[in-house]
Amino acid sequence: MESAIYVVAEETYLSANASWSRMSDHEKDQTNSWRISEDGRIHRKRHKVFPNGDIYHCEFVDNVPDGLGTLVTVKGMRYEGSFSKGLFHGNGTIVWEGILDGKKCVLKKFTGQFKNGKKNGVGTFHENGNRWEGSFVDDVFSGKGSLWKANGERQEGTWRNGKLHCDDGLIIYANGDKYEGPVYLGNMHGAVGHYTYAKQKGFYTGQHQLG
């Protein structure tokens, strides 16, 4: 019996004693649903339930998830999209569900590109009323992108490790104030920045030190 390790977005879990070599009572091989990829590999659809209750319904190659399909976990996560060698890889969507104020709801959602089991490439991520749109590197918002906060604030520019970090950043605050200029790890910082106060109350152009 082999153990299969999968990296699922922001968590790594072990499906202990998983065997891809033979069918279990909860595994069905849909022999009428298969295809041959350009590299000559045979993709067969299967429905597999792990002992912990996680469910795969996707294409398999050599008994490993590879191709299009879904994964639903007992922790409330659902992935729908492309797999490669058991990992999320390509385009897909993850939804994390949970209980909030006694009601079942979507807590987090990501739609976009994956590589080797992590968010890598362009995508959109929703959490706690906040929305990120842009580039992700190994699950972290990095590169060009925009953030809309639940409180009404918006940030645009280039990001580093989840923080706005560039010479040409844009921050529009919930009260209508606007800042344009250099931003250092999420803070206004640099020699030339332009801050405009809402309701035509004036502006300031000059140096900012860490906000």
**Three-state secondary structure string covering the chain:** CCCEEEEECCEEEEECCCCCCCCCCCCEEEEEEEEECCCCCEEEEEEEECCCCCEEEEEEECCEEEEEEEEECCCCEEEEEEEECCEEEEEEEEEEEEEECCEEEEEEEEEEEEECCEEEEEEEEEECCEEEEEEEECCEEEEEEEEECCCCCEEEEEEECCEECEEEEEEECCCCCEEEEEEECCEECEEEEEEECHHHCCEEEEEECCC
Would the pLDDT of 4 be above 50?
Answer: no
The pLDDT tens digits for 161-189 are 999 999 999 999 999 999 999 999 998 88
- Mean pLDDT computed over 84-105: 93
Predicted confidence band at 211 (pLDDT cuts at 50, 70, 90)? low
The label of the residue with tokens 């950043």 reads 169
Q: Which has more pLDDT, 55 or 29?
A: 55
pLDDT given for residue 27 in this prediction: 52
Predicted confidence band at 8 (pLDDT cuts at 50, 70, 90)? very low
State how far the Cα of 148 lies from the Cα of 205, in Å rounded to an integer: 25
Predicted confidence band at 43 (pLDDT cuts at 50, 70, 90)? confident
Percent of the chain with pLDDT over 90: 61
Would the pLDDT of 98 be above 60?
Answer: yes
Would the pLDDT of 10 be above 60?
Answer: no
- Mean pLDDT computed over 144-168: 97
Q: Which has more pLDDT, 60 or 27?
A: 60
Domains, the chain, ordered by start: 1-120 (no CATH), 128-211 (2.20.110.10)
* 8 closest CA partner among 68, 70, 62: 70
Predicted confidence band at 7 (pLDDT cuts at 50, 70, 90)? very low
The pTM of this model reads: 0.80
* 60 closest CA partner among 38, 31, 80: 31
Of 21-30, 109-118, 135-144, the range with the lowest mean pLDDT is 21-30
The pLDDT tens digits for 109-127 are 999 999 999 999 999 999 9
* 68 closest CA partner among 34, 40, 39, 110: 34
| 121 in Cβ contact with 115 (< 8 Å) | yes
Q: Which has more pLDDT, 29 or 8?
A: 29
Percent of the chain with pLDDT over 70: 84
Q: Which has more pLDDT, 130 or 191?
A: 130
